[in-house]
Structure 1
Amino acid sequence: MSVDAFNSAVAEVHRPSSPLAPKEGDILGRIGSLETRLARTASEIDAAQAVRFRVFVEEMGAQLSPEAMRRKRDFDSYDAFCDHLLVLDRSIEGDGEDQIVGTYRLLRQEVAMANGGFYSASEFAIDELLARHPDKRFMELGRSCVLPDYRTKRTVELLWQGNWAYALKHGMSAMFGCASFPGIHPESHALALSFLHHNVAAKDEWAVGALPHLARDMDLMPAEAVNPKRALMALPPLIKGYLRLGAMVGSTAVVDEAFNTTDVLIVLPIASISDRYLNYYGADAGRFAS
Structure 2
Amino acid sequence: MSIEIMNREDHGANIKTPSRGAPAASVDVLGRIGNLETRLARNAAEIDAAQAVRYRVFVEEMNAQLPADAMRRRRDVDHFDAICDHLLVLDRSIEGDTCEQIVGTYRLLRQDVAMANGGFYSASEFAIDGLLARHPDEQFMELGRSCVLPDYRTKRTVELLWQGNWAYALKHGMGAMIGCASFPGVHPEQHALALSFLYHQVGAKDEWAVDALPHLARNIDLMPMEAVNGRKALMALPPLIKGYMRLGAMVSTSAVVDTAFNTTDVLIVLPIASISDRYVNYYGADAGRFSS
Give the TM-score normalised by structure 2. 0.90
1:109-258 to 2 correspondences below 5 Å: 109-258=111-260
Q: Distance in 2 between matches of 1:26 and 1:185?
A: 42
Give how far 1:107 is off.
Answer: 0.1
User: What do the CA deviations read for 1:237-275 (whole angstroms, capped 9, x no partner)?
Assistant: 111110110100011000001000000000000000000
Which amino acid counterpart does residue 60 of structure 1 have in structure 2? M
User: Is 2:250–2:270's contact at 8 Å kept on the other side of the alignment?
Assistant: yes
Number of residue pairs aligned between Structure 1 and Structure 2:
271
State the Cα deviation string for residues 48-103 of structure 1 (Å, max 9, x = none). Answer: 00000000000001000000000000000000010000000111111110000000
Q: What's 1:81 paired with?
A: 83
Q: Partners in 1 of 2:40 and 2:260 — Cα distance? A: 27
Tell me how large the CA RMSD over aligned residues is.
1.7
Q: Distance in 2 between matches of 1:111 and 1:287?
A: 29
- Residues in 1 aligned to 2:139 and 2:282: alpha-carbon distance in whole angstroms: 23
Indicate if the aligned counterparts of 1:27 and 1:288 stay in contact, CA closer than 8 A: no
| Alignment counterpart, residue 31 of structure 2, candidates 29, 32, 51 | 29
Structure with a larger share of its residues in helix: 1
Return closer, same or farther for 1:274/1:282 CA change in 2, 3 Å cut-off: same
Q: 1:276 aligns with which of 275, 278, 285?
A: 278
Answer whether contact 1:168 1:286 (CA < 8 A) is retained. Answer: no
Pick from 74, 92, 95: which aligns with 2:94?
92
Q: Establish whether residue 45 from structure 1 lines up as the match of residue 47 from structure 2.
A: yes
* Distance in 1, Cα, partners of 2:43 & 2:263: 30
| SS of residue paired to 1:276 | helix
Equivalent residue of 1:86, what SS? strand
Q: Distance in 1 between matches of 2:215 and 2:119?
A: 19
Letter in 2 for 1:203: K
Q: Is the 8 A contact 2:193 2:228 kept in 1?
A: yes
2:6 maps to what in 1?
none
> 4+ residue runs of structure 1 moved beyond 6 angstroms?
none
Deviations 1:173-201 (A, max 9, x none): 00000000000000000011001001001
Deviation (angstroms), 1:147: 0.4
Q: Contact 1:165–1:288 (CA<8 Å) still a contact in 2?
A: no
User: Aligned partners of 1:238 and 1:33: how far apart in 2?
Assistant: 23
Contact 1:109 1:139 (C-alpha < 8 Å) held by counterparts: yes
Q: CA deviation at 1:286?
A: 2.8
Equivalent residue, structure 2, for 1:285: 287
Unaligned runs of 5+ in 2: 1-8, 11-22
**Structure 1 residue 284 displacement after superposition:** 7.5
Q: Is the 8 A contact 1:51 1:147 kept in 2?
A: yes
Which letter maps to 1:148?
Answer: P
Structure 2 CA distance for aligned equivalents of residues 281 and 200 of structure 1: 24
Once the two structures are superposed, the pairs formed by residues 11-22 of structure 1 within 5 Å of their partners are none
TM-aligned CA distance change 1:22 to 1:104, over 3 Å? farther
Report the more deviating stretch, 88-97 or 255-264. 88-97
- Report SS of the residue matched to 1:27: coil
> Residue deviations 1:29-59, cap 9 Å, x none?
1111111100001000000000000000000
Instruction: State the distance in 1 between where 2:287 and 2:97 align.
Output: 25
Q: TM-score, normalised by structure 1?
A: 0.91
SS of residue matched to 2:39: strand
